[in-house]
Amino acid sequence: MGRVSHSQGGSTTTPRAAKTEKTTKTTKTGKERNAQPATRPPGSTPADKLAPYHAKRDFSRTTEPSGLTSGTAPEAHKLRFVVQLHRARRKHYDLRFEMNGVLASWAVPNGPTLDPAAKRLAVHVEDHPMEYIDFEGVIPHGEYGGGDVIVWDTGTWEPYETDDPVAAVAAGELHADVHGYKLKGKFILIQRGRSREDSDQWLLIHKNDDYAVKGWNPEDYPQSVLSGRTNEQVKADPDRLWRSDLPPAEASVELRPRPIPGPSEAELAALDDLGAAGVWEVFGRQLRLTNLDKELFPPRAAAPGEPGEPAVTKRDFVRYAAQIAPVILPYLQGRPLNMHRFPGGAGEPGFWNKQLPQHAPDWLPRWDNPEAGPDKTSTYLVVGEPAALIWAANYGALEWHAWTSLAAHPDTPTYALIDIDPGTGTSWDQVLVLARLHRTALEHLSVRAQPKVTGRRGIQIWIPVEEGLSYHDTRVWVEQLSKTVGAVVPDLVSWKWDVRERHGLARLDYTQNVSNKTLVAPYSPRAAPGAPVSAPIDWAELDDPSLRPDKFTIRTIMERVAERGDLFRPVLGPGQHLPPID
């Protein structure tokens, strides 16, 4: 692999923990005791108890915790419990009680309830590691239990009618006093049978106590108590993954780096105060800027009766690069950047610049390509920090095109790309028809994807894919998908390579899925009048009559991001299996 220089990243954040209080419990003998982890019986370590859990999972693929370093009894503390709403092959609720260093677990198909008249089936399943107690994310397709998981409820619990919950489970009857956000009061788990065939079948019942609520339905409370999100929202945009190759204490990986603050008002004012050239200190770097008053993007033609807009200067462009840098950074980090440079401005011809020049400052992140032959690009810019994007803007890179693979694995794409490329005779309404058909197909396949307008005339759709796929894999899959879509509207699509042979029809360009090929990055400007931006949209906007491919510009996109957030964020989630297309 080539060398990738430094980059800035974020740190993990800790989800809201359940609030607990120190309480005591009076036993039938009248003695007070604190809830304690049960004494571990000989030969029953957490590692022993987790053997069935490990046997069902491939920890090189699943994001679930392995619990491999769990093995010591915790210090005295309140026992914890969790209920995870898990949409796997069948939707169910996983009820887990901490005991003996692991989470004793039951799958409850219809969910726990506060209704004492309801008797819920609860299937006793393998113990899980303690690190699983706040796991909320996605288990990969093909793994045991593949699906999405939220922390539906969590809190503390105390066994009653027993001093040894492990022995109580072994005897077939566990009494639990639960203190959660949603679940409160006394529950009983009762084994239905003792034979081998039905020993895992239990009943979960809430006692008729002060917390009992007739008709209480868990389906009325679908949100996570950690994130406030539903399973569908977590599936589309998970915040965390578990790295099973790391110790459990480090395995919770934040997918959303802590946002880097944008330039301050004082820093922007300093940019405005510079003359035609000067040094701007921002993001901890000193950047030498030139030709700041030069017009880079000519104004758009004004509509009849409306005032015209001024041209976009290089100062305006550098300001935008600084403001959008913290937003665009996750889509550029670790990826070689192909710069589309227009030193004379968008009104003059541009050219592709891949090679990082020798005069580039030493602090710029870069990738040295070890396979570069003579007269080939040997060193690429990698935008690993915000100041690097400002440097590229000052260098005349009006458009930013990053690779679909990481520099660390240049032959392995992280995205599959759908490029709806309109022909000379393709109307915007026809582009929208093709985009909506792709939306329907992706929904049918349960594949997560995100669209963006190109800032020119088309629409692109990005699909995050699982590790290990080749460009051949993604190209063949996108070809199958797009040809299936194209068959619905054959009068709109041509599959000819040569533009002159397409007779003005659109091309669904699956050939973009190839090594070293790039598509314009989200939020990148386009070299056109008014400085339009390749702007992420949500799927519903395909039905908005006001949508246009060049609607958003560097003057308007920051307000949209402030109001709507980063709509492209779902592509930063975990990669997906690409299902067969029948």
Phi/psi at 509 (5° precision)? -90, 85
Asked if residue 550 has pLDDT above 90, the reply is yes
Q: Is the pLDDT of residue 563 over 50?
A: yes
pLDDT at 55: 57
Q: Are 200 and 104 in contact (CB under 8 A)?
A: no
Question: CA–CA separation, 451 vs 550, rounded Å?
Answer: 14
pLDDT band at 154 (very low <50, low <70, confident <90, very high): very high
Contact 179, 156 (CB under 8 A): yes
Measured CA to CA, the distance from residue 175 to residue 173 in angstroms comes to: 7
- The residue type at 377: T
Q: Which amino acid is at 339?
A: M
Give the pLDDT band (50/70/90) at residue 62: very low
DSSP structural state of residue 74: P
**Is the per-residue pLDDT at 189 higher than 50?**
yes
Average pLDDT over residues 485-512: 89
Tokens of 199: 């020993």
Residue 536 has pLDDT above 70, yes or no: yes
Lowest mean pLDDT among 192-196, 387-391, 435-439: 192-196
DSSP β-ladder status, 102-108 and 252-254: unpaired
pLDDT at 252: 56
Residue 444, SS3 per DSSP: helix
pLDDT exceeds cutoff 60 at 192:
yes
The whole-number average pLDDT for the span 493-502 is 84
φ, ψ dihedrals at 480, nearest 5°: -60, -45
pLDDT at 249: 57
**Is the pLDDT score of 117 beyond 90?**
yes
Strand partners, 318: none
One-character DSSP codes across 501-559: GSTT-BEE-GGG-STT-EEEPTT-B-SSTT-BB--B--GGGGG-TT--TT--BTTTHHH
23-29 average pLDDT score: 34
Q: Whole-angstrom Cα distance, residue 443 to residue 134? A: 29
The dihedral built from the CA positions of residue 403, 404, 407 and 409, taken in this order, carries a sign that is negative
Which carries the bigger pLDDT value, residue 313 or residue 240?
Answer: 313
Could you give the CA distance from residue 542 to residue 289 in angstroms, rounded to a whole number? 39
Angle between helices 314-332 and 557-564 (to 10 degrees): 40
Q: Does the pLDDT value for residue 144 go beyond 90?
A: no
Confidence band of 198 (pLDDT split at 50, 70, 90): confident
Quick one: DSSP state of residue 126? Answer: E
Using CA atoms, how far apart are residues 443 and 14, in angstroms rounded to an integer?
32
Give me the helices (H) in 80-183, please.
Answer: 165-171
Residue with tokens 């982890």: 37
Digit-coded pLDDT (tens) for 343-359: 999 999 999 999 999 99
CA distance 40 to 165: 11
**pLDDT classification of 397: cutoffs 50, 70, 90:** very high
Confidence of residue 70 (pLDDT cuts 50, 70, 90): very low
Higher pLDDT, 307 or 107: 107
Predicted confidence at residue 57, as pLDDT, reads 47
Percentage of the chain surpassing pLDDT 90? Answer: 63
Q: Domain ranges in the chain? A: 14-254, 259-403, 413-582
Q: How confident is the model at residue 555 (pLDDT cuts 50, 70, 90)?
A: very high
| % of the chain with per-residue pLDDT over 70 | 82
How high is the mean pLDDT of the chain? 84
| Mean pLDDT, residues 47-70 | 49
Average pLDDT of 265-294? 96
User: Cα 240 from chain centroid?
Assistant: 8
Nearest to 108 by CA among 124, 122, 126, 89: 122
Between the CA of residue 22 and those of 27, 34, 81, 509, what are the distances in Å? 17, 8, 16, 62
Q: Choose the most confident range, by mean pLDDT, from 147-151, 314-318, 508-512.
A: 314-318
Q: How far apart are CA 545 and CA 524, in angstroms?
A: 24
Instruction: Kindly indicate the confidence band of residue 515, based on its pLDDT and cuts at 50, 70 and 90.
Output: confident
- The Cα 301–Cα 304 span in angstroms is 9
Q: What angle do CA 540, 542, 545 make, to 5 degrees?
A: 110
- Say how far apart CA 474 and CA 279 lie, in whole Å: 44
Question: Of 25-29, 258-262, 391-395, which gets the smallest average pLDDT?
Answer: 25-29
The contacts of residue 557 (CB under 8 Å, 6+ apart) are 324, 523, 533, 535
**Three-state DSSP state, 521:** coil
Rounded Cα–Cα distance for residues 27 and 358 (Å): 77
- For residue 487, how far is the Cα from the chain centroid? 32
The arithmetic mean of pLDDT across residues 364-392, rounded, is 93
Count CB neighbours of 500 within 10 A.
6
Q: Which CATH architecture has domain 413-582?
A: Alpha-Beta Complex (3.90)
Mean pLDDT of all residues in 355-373:
93
Model confidence at 16: pLDDT above 50 = no
Q: How far apart are the first and last CA of the chain?
A: 37
Mean pLDDT of 495-511: 87
